């Protein structure tokens, strides 16, 4: 843990400082040799902001700039002020920070480092007396949101990232409504933050930030919050506009927020924030956050619907169908949903939305071959064969999925069966394509495998293969073979598992169990994955597989398999 993330007030001469420790800028400086100051650390999104502007709203709106790790110093004489953070660069994603972070005015005391994060932004909306209640609603009960650096706590880090991406996407949605009104970017951010804070505070139990119901409620509330900055037409029909925009943008925002949440699942903190960030980048976890930060889909989507259509309450269901289609990235489905809205949608603008979200340069997952039979990829699959030894995933390349680099992925496989979860990570699967067709899939010799088994059995191991392993199968024109029994056999050969334990971990009928497959590029390089669904390509799900030694976060599939005799 870096020692420079804990700072104290420099008191100088104790008697003089005590005499002049007053609210921002007050008092007579002539008899004071030095003013009290505090060095504090600002936290942006889920990572630090470099080069951001911190404004001390109650201290004459004085400003300072954060350093490379988000640290900044209070102006002399300022010990109580509401804070606002804008601009700079998120050192996690490398993207410019376009949001607004806030913290309420409190008394900053010696030895305490105030933190300005997405979570304190929520506190600023409801007041510092609500901080503890908000923490509980976010599943962070007992944690001090005002002083806890998200990079020092895995649960707070995940919550901070997800909250910021939710606020950001809702604010971008409001920006799409701004034409003809006076809504500014700061006002949109404030309306979005207020909506998130009030919705979380009003949740029954722990708020699920990935819930479609919660996101829809947030968007609707944010539109009402932004009413005064919208055009007169929209203001006059604000309830219908709120419902329609929530139906339209809600599915897209829910999908993005859920991807970020999944990408940051099971964070393991390193000895210092820099190492934690490096590990998140190497695992591929940052890719979903970067993608969300860059996205402006909801802005364009709202602008593609005419203002008159947004005020018509009869359009809500059809707008929801359009939002659902855009969230999948399936261009055919988008055009069908848009056609059902007729003149309510600008055809040129919705074409631009469809082109922006459709997949290019990606790996495509199609049918699964299980026990010799082929099945389309769906959320639930019912198969036969009595015992499940492997799953073969049909794989093709469309365009250049690896951007001119080596066609290599880190792959993770996870399944839960018989009270045990089995996680396997392969550090290098080298793929060979002939055009778009997969012709080979090899794990080169001396590649690291890592395993974790938890539940009724407990085991962990990291192994290397002495010779190359072949994971290619000709099924469905070229498939990546994921052989459960072969992977378990490696643990048996290493003496980690007995044959009886291998048998207990091999799925048999009749049983139902979840399966996850995730792939990302070497060193966390982003590799886009699509899934063939009903003849159209859709966005693959963000998935994470973790062992004690490694983590893979990427795009892939999540399904539940029912195995029959």
- Encode pLDDT of 509-529 as tens digits: 999 999 999 999 999 999 999
SS (H, E, C) 465-481: CCCCEECEECHHHCEEE
Same domain (yes/no): 301, 172: yes
Q: What does the pLDDT look like over 250-272, one tens digit per residue?
A: 999 999 999 999 999 989 999 99
Residues 28 and 74 in one domain: yes
Check whether residue 550 and residue 459 sit in a common domain.
yes
pLDDT exceeding 70 applies to what percent of the chain? 91
Q: Does a structural domain hold residue 294?
A: yes
Helix then strand then coil, in percent of the chain rounded to 5, is 40, 30, 30
Average pLDDT over residues 240-246: 98
Q: Is the pLDDT of residue 403 over 80?
A: yes
**Domain boundary residue, one of 289, 324, 350:** 350
Whether 5 shows a pLDDT value over 80: the answer reads: no
- Give the pLDDT confidence score for residue 11 in this predicted structure: 30
pLDDT of residue 46: 64
Q: Angle 285-422-556 (CA atoms, 0-180°, nearest 5)? A: 40
Percentage, residues of the chain above pLDDT 90: 86
- Whether the full predicted model's pTM is greater than 0.85, yes or no, is yes
User: For position 80, what pLDDT does the model report?
Assistant: 86
- Assess whether pLDDT exceeds 80 at residue 458: yes
Examine the pLDDT at 238 and tell me if it is beyond 80.
yes
CA angle, corner 163, sides to 557 and 527, nearest 5?
A: 30
Whether residue 209 contacts residue 257, with contact meaning beta carbons closer than 8 Å, is answered with yes
Same domain, 459 and 414: yes
Please indicate, yes or no, if residue 140 is contained in any of the structural domains: no
Task: State the Cα–Cα distance between residues 491 and 459, nearest whole angstrom.
Answer: 9
Does residue 482 surpass a pLDDT of 70?
Answer: yes
324 and 368 inside one domain: no
Q: Per the domain annotation, does 122 fall within a domain?
A: no
Based on the number of CB atoms within 10 Å of its own CB, is 447 exposed (0-12), middle (13-18) or buried (19 or more)?
middle
Q: Could you tell me the pLDDT band of residue 38, with boundaries at 50, 70 and 90?
A: very low
d(CA 29, CA 17): 11
327 near 255, Cβ under 8 Å? yes
Q: Assess whether 260 and 333 both reside in one domain.
A: yes
Query: Is 197 in the same domain as 342?
Result: yes
User: What pLDDT band is residue 113 in, cutting at 50, 70 and 90?
Assistant: confident
**Residue 110 confidence (pLDDT) above 70:** no
What is the per-residue pLDDT for 24? 38
pLDDT tens by residue, 206-224 = 999 999 999 999 999 999 9
> Do 202 and 88 belong together in one domain?
no
Number of separate domains in the chain: 3
Quote the strand ranges of 237-385, DSSP E: 362-370, 373-375, 380-384
Last residue of a domain, one of 317, 350, 383: 350
Q: Write down the pLDDT at residue 106.
A: 84
The beta strand positions in 157-302, using DSSP E, are none
Weakest-pLDDT range from 31-40, 215-224, 278-287, 411-420? 31-40
Q: Are 341 and 272 in contact (CB under 8 A)?
A: no
Mean pLDDT of 134-149: 95
H-type helices in 49-153, by residue range?
118-126, 131-137
Mean pLDDT, rounded, for 224-231: 98
- pLDDT number for residue 45: 54
Asked whether residue 128 is assigned to any structural domain, the reply reads no
* Model pLDDT, residue 112: 73
Q: What is the pLDDT of residue 27?
A: 36
* Residue ending a domain, choose from 350, 373, 408: 350
Give the single-character DSSP code of 457: S
Decide if 137 is inside a domain.
no
> Within this chain, do residues 323 and 452 fall inside the same structural domain, yes or no?
no
**Mean pLDDT score of the chain:** 91
Q: Which among 209, 211, 165, 207 has a CA at the least distance from the CA of 189? A: 165
Which residue range forms the structural domain that includes residue 422?
A: 362-564
The answer to whether the beta carbons of residues 452 and 412 sit under 8 Å apart is no
Is 198 inside a domain boundary? yes
In degrees, to the nearest 5, what angle opens at C-alpha 241 toward C-alphas 240 and 242?
Answer: 90
Residue 245 lies inside a defined structural domain of this protein:
yes
Instruction: Render pLDDT for 351-373 as a digit per residue (tens, 0 to 9).
Output: 999 999 999 999 999 999 999 99
Q: Is 103 helix (H, G, I), strand (E, B) or coil?
A: strand
Average of per-residue pLDDT across 32-40 = 42
Tokens 């599939």 belong to: 557
Q: Within a domain: residue 16? A: yes
Asked if residue 544 and residue 511 are part of one domain, the reply reads: yes
275 and 297 housed in the same domain? yes
pLDDT at 398: 97
Tell me which of 3 and 426 has the higher pLDDT. Answer: 426
Residues 346 and 377 in one domain: no
Whether residue 12 is predicted with pLDDT greater than 50 in this model: the reply is: no
pLDDT of residue 90: 94
Assess whether pLDDT exceeds 70 at residue 42. Answer: no
Kindly state the average pLDDT of the residues 274-298. Answer: 96
Q: Which residues contact 521 (CB under 8 A, 6 or more apart)?
A: 284, 402, 405, 408, 409, 410, 527, 554
Contact predicate 391/515, CB 8 Å: yes
């Amino acid at each position: 843990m870096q020692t420079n993330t804990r700072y104290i007030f420099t008191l100088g001469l104790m008697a003089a400082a005590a005499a002049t420790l007053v609210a921002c800028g007050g008092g007579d400086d002539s008899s004071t040799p030095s003013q009290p100051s505090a060095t504090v650390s600002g936290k942006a999104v889920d990572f630090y902001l470099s080069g951001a502007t911190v404004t001390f709203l109650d201290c004459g709106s004085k400003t300072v700039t954060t350093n490379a790790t988000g640290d900044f110093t209070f102006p002399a004489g300022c010990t109580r002020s509401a804070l606002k953070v804008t601009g700079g660069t998120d050192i996690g994603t490398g993207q410019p920070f376009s949001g607004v972070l806030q913290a309420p005015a409190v008394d900053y005391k010696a030895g305490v480092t105030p933190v300005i994060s997405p979570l304190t932004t929520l506190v600023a909306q409801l007041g510092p007396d609500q901080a503890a209640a908000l923490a509980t609603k976010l599943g962070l009960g007992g944690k001090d949101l005002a002083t806890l650096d998200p990079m020092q706590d895995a649960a707070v880090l995940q919550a901070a990232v997800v909250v910021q991406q939710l606020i950001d996407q809702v604010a971008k949605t409001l920006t799409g409504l701004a034409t003809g009104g006076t809504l500014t970017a700061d006002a949109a951010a404030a309306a979005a933050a207020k909506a998130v804070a009030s919705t979380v505070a009003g949740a029954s139990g722990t708020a699920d930030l990935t819930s479609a119901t919660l996101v829809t409620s947030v968007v609707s509330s944010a539109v009402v919050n932004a009413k005064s900055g919208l055009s007169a037409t929209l203001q006059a029909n604000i309830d219908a506009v709120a419902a329609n925009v929530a139906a339209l943008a809600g599915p897209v925002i829910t999908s993005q927020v859920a991807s970020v949440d999944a990408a940051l699942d099971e964070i393991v903190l390193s000895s210092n924030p820099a190492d934690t960030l490096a590990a998140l980048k190497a695992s591929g976890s940052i890719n979903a956050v970067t993608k969300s930060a860059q996205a402006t889909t909801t802005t364009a989507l709202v602008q593609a619907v005419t203002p008159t259509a947004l005020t018509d309450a009869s359009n809500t269901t059809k707008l929801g169908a359009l939002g659902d289609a855009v969230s999948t990235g399936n261009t055919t489905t988008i055009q069908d949903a848009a056609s059902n809205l007729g003149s309510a949608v600008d055809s040129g603008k919705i074409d631009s939305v469809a082109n922006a979200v459709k997949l290019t340069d990606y790996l495509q997952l199609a049918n699964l071959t299980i026990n010799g039979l082929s099945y389309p990829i769906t959320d639930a699959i019912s198969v036969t064969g009595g015992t499940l030894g492997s799953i073969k995933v049909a794989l093709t390349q469309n365009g250049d999925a690896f951007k001119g680099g080596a066609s290599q992925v880190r792959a993770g496989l996870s399944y839960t069966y018989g009270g045990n979860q089995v996680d396997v990570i392969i550090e290098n699967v080298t793929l060979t394509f002939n055009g778009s067709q997969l012709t080979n899939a090899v794990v080169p010799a001396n590649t690291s495998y890592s395993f974790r088994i938890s539940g009724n059995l407990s085991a962990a191991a990291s192994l290397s293969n002495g010779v190359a392993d072949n994971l290619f199968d000709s099924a469905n024109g070229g498939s990546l073979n994921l052989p459960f029994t072969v992977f378990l056999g490696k643990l048996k050969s290493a003496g980690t598992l007995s044959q009886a334990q291998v048998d207990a971990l091999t799925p048999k009928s009749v049983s139902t169990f979840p399966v996850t497959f995730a792939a990302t590029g070497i060193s966390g390089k982003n590799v886009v994955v699509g899934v063939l669904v009903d003849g159209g390509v859709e966005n693959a799900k963000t998935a994470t597989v973790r062992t004690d030694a490694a983590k893979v976060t990427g795009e892939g599939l999540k399904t539940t398999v029912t195995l029959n005799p």
